Amino acid sequence: MSLRIYNTLSRELEEFSPLQPGRVRMYVCGMTVYDLCHLGHARSMIAFDLVQRWLKASGLAVTYVRNITDIDDKIIRRAVENGETIRSLTDRMIDALHEDADALGIERPTHEPRATDYIPQMLSMIGTLEKKGLAYRAENGDVNYAVRKFPGYGKLSGKSIDELHAGERVAVLDGKDDPLDPVLWKSAKPSEPEEVKWASEFGPGRPGWHIECSAMACELLGETLDIHGGGEDLQFPHHENEIAQSEGATGKPLANYWMHNGFIVTDNEKMSKSLGNFFLIRDVLKKYDAETIRFFVVRAHYRRPLNYSDVHLDDARASLKRLYTSLDLVAPQALAAIDWNDPYAARFKAAMDEDFATPEAVAVLFDLAGEVNRTQSPAQAGLLKALGGCLNILQDDPKRFLRAGTTLAESAIQAQIDARAAAKAAKNFAEADRIRNDLLAQGIVLKDSPTGTTWAAAQ
Ligand SMILES: [Zn+2]
């Protein structure tokens, strides 16, 4: 095992050594299910899907937990707005999340715990923290964590509590000893639906967000994880609070390796719901096939920001076509296993073993594709396909991928059909022909009939 992982905690590349030889326990913070997933969520899911695939390809057994936050202010607000129950909203959004993730070829994690199924474990951890003097009951009925009582607070961010304060925009005390103290248990408000009130020794209420992950990770994976992951925006305060809660309760390290994926940015701004500059996975899938989206994410390093634009997705599609062209030229031989001593396979492995350096791994695929084009070797084409499989790309039928290759959304095709009909009505037949040929060049065949024009992907 010569895998090295960049550990956010030490800010260094470290040799990966799981607690139990041959077995990896990985926890990744998942979605708050009040709305549909956007491309930023897709990036995090794809990043850690790649991690777990590579760990498995390296011969390790992986238990991968990605939680679902199904209780939160935003969820309550949205359900009330919609006039539906929390459960009906979160069930619908979890179904939609699965649809999107499955469509993108992301493997389901081993466990996807819903926070509301782990309330007793959260309450038990809060009880432990209170006994240890790390939690206190505030006047407003909430139970808060006392960050100043935990000496390691700020270690993931590499900042002291006072430095973290400086970065805070608003210091709302709201019954807290320190504005950074996270709420562990929120006391029930009369205005809130009965569905979000649980009985407890602290009075009726519901859990805070951070305690959910601490309790679920401990219950499903044990007190110390091998890998804890999430988007880089979760480092502070979410992961800092998870560390304070879990380590405060158990006295053991929460995770040995902390991994954070970079943002997807549009016009240099982080893609997010609050900024309104997001693209839903299902909308992008109308325009681009799943493999192109996946390749767009995979060919950038997971820790770097990734710029989203149609130009970049078009380019990803064109690059992927070049790889498929080699597999179309030389039918790949099915391999029983990858020979990691092959020079291309060895280079691919070296790249992936260095903190999952997918850009370098993809570069190896292009070199190998060039070699396949020159040598016409079915064995090398087979290796190209098998290495692509480690990134979950290049598994489609090359002919289908190359020919079905349209990047046009249905609405865009329809707009072109309408424009052609208008050109015909204006007797501008040259323009009508230009539109037909233009679509054909993009893999779309038009069929005219007395009732109108229909289209199909070229066979
Ligand atoms: Zn979390």
Residue 270 is predicted with a pLDDT of 78
Gyration radius from the chain CA atoms: 26
What local confidence, expressed as pLDDT, does residue 269 receive?
79
Q: Which residues surround ligand 1, an ion (CB under 5 A)?
A: 29, 213
Specify the pLDDT at position 434.
86
Q: How confident is the model at residue 459 (pLDDT cuts 50, 70, 90)?
A: low
Amino acid occupying residue 189:
K
CA distance 283 to 152: 43
Between the CA of 150 and the centroid of ligand 1 the distance, in Å, is 19
* 119-131 helix and 209-221 helix, angle to the nearest 10 degrees: 100
Task: Say how many Å lie between the CA of residue 151 and the centre of ligand 1.
Answer: 21
Helix ranges, 18-72 (H)? 39-57
Distance 120 CA to ligand 1 centre (A): 18
Q: How far is CA 195 from the centre of its chain?
A: 29
The answer, yes or no, to whether residue 66 has pLDDT greater than 70, is yes
How remote is the CA of residue 379 from the centroid of ligand 1, in Å? 44
> Considering all CA atoms of the chain, what is the largest pairwise distance in Å, rounded to the nearest integer?
84
What are the counts of helices (DSSP H) followed by strands (DSSP E) for the chain? 16, 15
In this predicted structure, the answer to whether residue 408 has a pLDDT above a threshold of 90 is no
249-288 confidence digits (pLDDT tens): 999 999 999 999 999 998 777 777 777 778 999 999 988 9
Compute the mean pLDDT over every residue in the chain, rounded to the nearest whole number: 93
Does residue 224 surpass a pLDDT of 60? yes
Q: How far is the CA of 300 from the centre of ligand 1 (A)?
A: 24
* Predicted pLDDT of residue 33: 97
Q: What is the pLDDT of residue 416?
A: 85
The residue type of 7 is: N
Strands (E), 122-173: 135-137, 143-145
Separation of CA 62 from chain center = 17
For residues 305-322, give the mean pLDDT: 93
Compute the distance from residue 240 Cα to the ligand 1 centre, in Å. Answer: 10
Q: Which tokens sit at 301?
A: 């390093």
Confirm if 271 and 305 have CB atoms less than 8 A apart.
Answer: no
Query: How many residues are given for the chain?
Result: 459
pLDDT in tens, 415-458: 888 889 999 999 999 889 888 888 877 777 888 888 888 887 66
Cα 309 to ligand 1 centre (Å):
29
In angstroms, the CA 16 to CA 172 distance is: 40
Separation between Cα atoms, residue 420 and residue 109, nearest integer Å: 47
Which structure tokens are listed for 350?
A: 């070296």
The mean pLDDT of 13-32, rounded to a whole number, is 97
pLDDT on residue 407: 55
d(CA 332, CA 113): 40
Q: ∠ CA 181-187-190 to the nearest 5 degrees?
A: 140
| Ligand 1 centroid – CA 213 distance (Å) | 5
Angle in degrees, CA 61, 109, 39, rounded to 5: 130
Mean pLDDT, to the nearest integer, of 371-386?
Answer: 97
* Three-state SS at 444: strand
Give the chain's end-to-end CA distance (angstroms, integer).
46
Sheet holding 255-261, edge to edge: 61-66, 23-28, 225-231, 255-261
